[in-house]
């Protein structure tokens, strides 16, 4: 069956529905849901039971890049800077030095053990150097596990920030292999150019996005997600056009925006969290369709050896070396090493050698696909066991994305706050009051009328705010944000 404009929606909807329904059974086996989407795509492909013919790396790469921009932006919006700040340099070390060391170790192994040139081996190592910790958190949440200390924010930061380095290495090595020349100074210059421009544009676009979304005053609330999406893709494409690292710019701009108050913030973050799942499903189904299972069997032996070396040697070396100068115990380092799952990102990056027409491009793509699948299946299924074995998991309800637990939501109470005429909140928009994200202003009573507030709603003197807070601390922070410290909150009657 060939994909045509007439049947693409029909085929796509069936595959998405099958993937979502089938995902209900994966959590019991501790297998990341995304690997299921990959397998369903392969089964539906040319050599599977679906017989859908798809052999277009260019289209797959476009879908992959689009999905990665969306996923990185969504992850950045949901990153808590206060949680990440204490472990910032540990995450940066893992996402830069760690990625480089992984690429070097795997590259040298492939060069000396198999019939690869040095740069071909380094290219393969660069492609598989990025991790996909998002799959890890889906397993931990499904098992109700929490990690001790700063492990969770370290893994979150690494997973969101290591794609730019892996992308730089992949594109650079692809070019080196294609032209057969290596210029070390040019490589250093390209690295500085990509990351400096990416950081500058990312920071500026984060600030610009915050100003735009709070001042544009769109008539239709449904246009705000479209506005944010346009800003995200503009950030990536503009950075890429001037020679910067677009993935770094997108992630950084989203972190800056997500840690400030803006109109419809809670709604937009939830919207993009849901849409991130959609694009991930599309990405993995597309990559599954692109693979030909019969081409995997000839490289199975090689793939198993490389995957084993990556998991048991290269990843631990990179983690221990990257964290050598940070106060991290060995049990945490071993767990971070085991969390180095390879997901959809390496498979997307493996399309670059294909489009460049390199001699070993087909072998590299099939190896990367095989390595990603075996990595997720082995490490993903054993992750809860390893966490308990290393004593890095702690009992209790799993944390939500906003940092609150399920039990805290059960204890939520409705309170009402009367705004005094001398409050500093008077005549200010809610978005500028810095009220905690976990606090919900359900409605405002004003002159006998009830108003459902949004971020742009202004607070007037003598307004009565009906607030739902998760805990006493969040309630106190809300009271302070409204300039009403020292007064008693009255219960809703």
For every one of its 493 residues, what pLDDT tens digit does the chain have, with 9 covering 90 and above? 666 666 677 777 877 787 777 666 655 555 567 677 888 888 888 777 777 888 889 988 999 899 889 888 988 888 888 888 889 999 999 999 999 999 999 999 999 999 899 999 999 999 999 887 556 656 655 555 678 888 888 888 888 888 899 999 999 999 999 998 888 899 999 999 999 999 999 999 999 999 999 888 888 888 888 999 999 999 999 999 999 999 999 999 999 998 888 888 878 888 888 788 788 888 888 888 888 888 888 899 999 999 999 999 999 999 999 999 998 899 999 999 998 888 788 989 999 999 999 989 999 999 999 998 888 888 877 888 888 899 888 765 545 444 444 334 434 567 888 888 888 888 888 877 777 777 878 888 888 888 888 777 888 888 888 888 767 777 777 888 887 765 544 444 4
Asked if residue 337 is part of any domain, the answer here is: yes
Q: Which stretch of DSSP H or E encloses residue 76?
A: helix 57-77
CATH number at residue 348: 1.20.1530.20
Structure confidence at residue 144 (pLDDT): 59
Structure confidence at residue 358 (pLDDT): 92
Residue 95 DSSP symbol: I
Residue 150 and residue 25 in one domain: yes
Residue 342 and residue 438 in one domain: no
Asked if residue 399 is part of any domain, the answer here is: no
Of 394, 429, 444, which residue sits at a domain end? 394
Residue 297, Cα to own-chain centre: how many angstroms?
31
Residue 385 and residue 334 in one domain: yes
Structural domain range at position 93: 8-394
User: 229 CB contacts (<8 Å, ≥6 apart)?
Assistant: 70
Residue 256 and residue 169 in one domain: yes
In whole angstroms, give the CA distance from residue 341 to residue 170.
18
User: 469 CB contacts (<8 Å, ≥6 apart)?
Assistant: 412, 413, 415, 438, 439, 440, 475, 478
Asked if residue 411 is part of any domain, the answer here is: yes
Asked if residue 456 is part of any domain, the answer here is: yes
In whole angstroms, give the CA distance from residue 337 to residue 379.
10
In whole angstroms, give the CA distance from residue 460 to residue 458.
6
Of 394, 415, 436, which residue sits at a domain end? 394
Asked if residue 250 is part of any domain, the answer here is: yes
Closest C-alpha to 235, from 210, 268, 272: 210
CATH number at residue 443: 3.30.70.1450
Structure confidence at residue 377 (pLDDT): 83
DSSP string, 430-493: GGGS---TT-EEEEEEETTEEE---TTPBP-TT-EEEEEESSHHHHHHHHHHTT-TTSPPEEP-
Task: Say if CB 123 and CB 170 are below 8 A apart.
Answer: yes
Asked if residue 2 is part of any domain, the answer here is: no
Residue 172 and residue 312 in one domain: yes
Residue 364 and residue 434 in one domain: no
Asked if residue 3 is part of any domain, the answer here is: no
Residue 346 and residue 422 in one domain: no
Of 366, 394, 422, which residue sits at a domain end? 394
Structure confidence at residue 237 (pLDDT): 95
Residue 271 and residue 413 in one domain: no
Residue 464 and residue 433 in one domain: yes
Tally of domains in the chain? 2
Residue 59 and residue 203 in one domain: yes
Asked if residue 105 is part of any domain, the answer here is: yes
Residue 468 and residue 343 in one domain: no
Structure confidence at residue 94 (pLDDT): 93
Residue 444 and residue 465 in one domain: yes
């Amino acid at each position: 069956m060939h994909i045509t404009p007439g049947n693409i929606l029909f085929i796509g909807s069936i595959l998405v529905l099958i993937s979502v329904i089938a995902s209900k059974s994966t959590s019991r086996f501790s297998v990341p849901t995304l690997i299921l989407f990959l397998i369903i795509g392969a089964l539906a492909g040319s050599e599977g039971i679906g017989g859908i013919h798809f052999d277009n790396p260019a289209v797959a790469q476009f879908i992959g890049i689009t999905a990665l921009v969306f996923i990185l932006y969504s992850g950045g919006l949901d990153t808590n800077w206060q949680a990440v700040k204490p472990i910032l340099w540990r995450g940066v070390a893992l996402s830069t030095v760690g990625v480089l060391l992984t690429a070097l170790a795997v590259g040298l192994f492939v060069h000396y053990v198999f019939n690869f040139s040095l740069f071909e081996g380094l290219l393969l190592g660069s492609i598989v150097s990025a991790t996909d910790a998002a799959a890890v958190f889906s397993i931990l949440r499904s098992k109700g596990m929490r990690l001790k200390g700063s492990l969770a924010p370290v893994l979150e930061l690494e997973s969101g920030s290591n794609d730019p380095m892996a992308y730089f290495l992949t594109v650079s090595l692809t070019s080196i292999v294609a032209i057969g020349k290596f210029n070390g100074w040019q490589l250093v210059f390209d690295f500085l150019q990509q990351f400096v421009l990416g950081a500058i544009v990312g920071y500026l676009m984060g600030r610009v996005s915050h100003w735009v979304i709070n001042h544009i005053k769109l008539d239709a609330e449904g246009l705000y997600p479209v506005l944010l999406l346009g800003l995200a893709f503009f950030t990536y494409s503009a950075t890429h056009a001037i020679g910067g690292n677009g993935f770094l710019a997108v992630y950084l701009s989203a972190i800056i925006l997500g840690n400030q108050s803006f109109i419809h913030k809670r709604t937009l973050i939830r919207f993009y969290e849901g849409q991130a799942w959609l694009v991930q499903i599309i990405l993995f189904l597309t990559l599954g369709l692109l693979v030909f299972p019969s081409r995997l069997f000839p490289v199975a032996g090689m793939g198993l050896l490389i995957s084993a070396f990556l998991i048991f040697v290269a990843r631990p070396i990179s983690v221990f070396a990257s964290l050598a100068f940070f106060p991290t115990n060995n049990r945490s380092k071993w767990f971070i090493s085991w969390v180095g799952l390879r997901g959809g990102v390496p498979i997307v990056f493996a399309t670059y050698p294909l489009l460049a027409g390199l001699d070993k491009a087909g072998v590299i793509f099939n190896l990367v696909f095989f390595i990603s699948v075996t990595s997720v299946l082995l490490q993903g299924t054993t992750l809860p066991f390893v966490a308990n074995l290393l004593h890095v998991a702690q009992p209790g309800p799993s944390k939500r994305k906003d940092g609150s637990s399920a039990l805290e939501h059960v204890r939520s109470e409705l309170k009402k706050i009367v705004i005094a005429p001398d409050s500093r909140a008077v005549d200010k928009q809610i978005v500028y009051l810095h009220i905690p994200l976990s606090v919900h202003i359900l409605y405002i009573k004003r002159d006998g009328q009830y108003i459902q507030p949004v971020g742009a709603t202004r607070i007037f003197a003598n307004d009565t705010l009906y607030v739902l807070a998760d805990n006493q601390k969040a309630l106190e922070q809300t009271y302070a944000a409204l300039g009403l410290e020292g007064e008693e909150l009255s219960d809703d009657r």
